[in-house]
């Protein structure tokens, strides 16, 4: 019988999976577990130096039952297909971009096109300047974003604001959106069918704003923008031609909060974006 994990253990598992995913590790395999050994492992008090959660927990990757928690059901689904990006839409004059974005928002409406609408508090469309030269794309709303209806307003958002400021820009000068516009339960990674359903709206937003530089924050954003899976390490540190724009891939701010040592690498990526935008390092130090 499936065993419910306590919230702390479950969150630790989710964080660990996201950590691996941000490192570009997306293939996970289930190791057969002796139920007797698993019971002992779960019941034993943690000793110093022992892992704080059972890596081989059957509940983590176990068979989904009728009451299975989606976070425990294949947190990452590497074998499901990713939709190809749509044709590039015709350009929109700068003066009409705000209205064009509003039309997309109106078309989305009270969306129920994928399962994520069920747990949504507020749909998170985007934030920022419709004529921005720089756009950031993240994975999906978290709890704070879901409550406020705006992207990147929690702790990761604070760090993103700092990253933008370090580039010599203000948040109001950039455009920010996500792969999915509704919060996945427990902040899990969006399933491919959810992301594939929502991505056409994001591509339309990108084609309207038509930024000079687009920064993909994390592996999920990079995967669905580029249309194929590749470890983050193989995508970072260079410019990808993308729909007539320049795409740069870097770490998600939430990952940088978990592993601040990677901020230096992220800053190197942002400096590539700054170079493309003609922003000087002097501007960033003001
Ligand atoms: S995530 Fe996107 S497709 Fe799914 S319900 Fe929300 S707006 Fe609709």
45: left (phi over 0), alpha (psi -120 to 50) or beta: beta
Q: Which domains does the chain have, with CATH numbers?
A: 7-72 (no CATH), 94-284 (3.40.470.10)
Residue 117 predicted with pLDDT over 60:
yes
Short-list 64, 75, 66, CA closest to 12: 75
pLDDT of residue 280: 81
Angle at 164 between CA 161 and CA 165, to 5 degrees: 85
pLDDT of residue 229: 87
Using a 6 Å cutoff on CB, does residue 82 contact ligand 1?
A: no
pTM: 0.75
Lowest mean pLDDT of 22-36, 51-65, 189-203, 206-220, name the range: 51-65
pLDDT tier for residue 31 given thresholds of 50, 70 and 90: low
Residue 7 predicted with pLDDT over 50:
yes
Using a 6 Å cutoff on CB, does residue 188 contact ligand 1?
A: no
Q: How many CB atoms lie within 10 A of CB 61?
A: 19
Short-list 179, 119, 175, 174, CA closest to 146: 119
Contacts of 150 (CB under 8 A, 6+ apart): 124, 127
Lowest mean pLDDT of 31-45, 110-124, 186-200, name the range: 31-45
pLDDT of residue 37: 47
**241 touches 124 (CB < 8 A):** no
Centre of ligand 1 to C-alpha 30, Å, is 30
Q: Whose CA is nearest to atom 6 of ligand 1?
A: 182
Tokens (6 digits) for 176: 């920010």
Average predicted confidence (pLDDT) for the chain: 82
Q: Whose CA is nearest to atom 3 of ligand 1?
A: 198
Using a 6 Å cutoff on CB, does residue 89 contact ligand 1?
A: no
Centre of ligand 1 to C-alpha 128, Å, is 20
């Amino acid at each position: 019988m499936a065993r419910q994990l306590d919230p702390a253990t479950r969150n630790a598992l989710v964080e660990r999976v996201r950590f691996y995913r941000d490192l570009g590790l997306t293939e996970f395999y289930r190791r057969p577990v002796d139920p007797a050994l698993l019971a002992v492992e779960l019941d034993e008090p943690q000793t110093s130096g022992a892992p704080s959660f059972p890596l081989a927990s059957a509940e983590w990757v176990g068979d989904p039952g009728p009451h299975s928690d989606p976070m425990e059901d294949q947190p990452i689904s590497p074998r499901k297909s990713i939709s190809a990006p749509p044709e590039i839409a015709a350009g929109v004059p700068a003066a009409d971009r705000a209205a064009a974005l509003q039309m997309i928002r109106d078309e989305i409406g009270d969306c129920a096109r994928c399962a994520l609408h069920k747990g949504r508090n507020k749909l998170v469309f985007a934030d920022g300047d419709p004529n921005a030269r720089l756009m950031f794309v993240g994975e999906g709303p978290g709890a704070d974003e879901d409550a406020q209806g705006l992207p990147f307003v929690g702790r990761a958002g604070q760090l993103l604001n700092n990253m933008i400021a370090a580039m010599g820009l203000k948040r109001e000068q950039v455009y920010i959106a996500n792969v999915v516009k509704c919060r996945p339960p427990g902040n899990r990674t969006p399933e491919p069918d959810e992301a594939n359903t929502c991505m056409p709206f994001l591509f339309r937003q990108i084609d309207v704003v038509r930024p000079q530089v687009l920064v993909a924050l994390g592996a999920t954003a990079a995967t669905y923008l580029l249309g194929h899976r590749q470890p983050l390490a193989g995508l970072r540190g260079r410019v990808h031609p993308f729909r007539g724009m320049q795409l740069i891939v870097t770490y998600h701010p939430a990952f940088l909060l978990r592993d601040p040592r990677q901020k230096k690498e992220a800053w190197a990526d942002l400096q590539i974006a700054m170079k493309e935008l003609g922003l000087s390092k002097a501007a960033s130090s003001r």
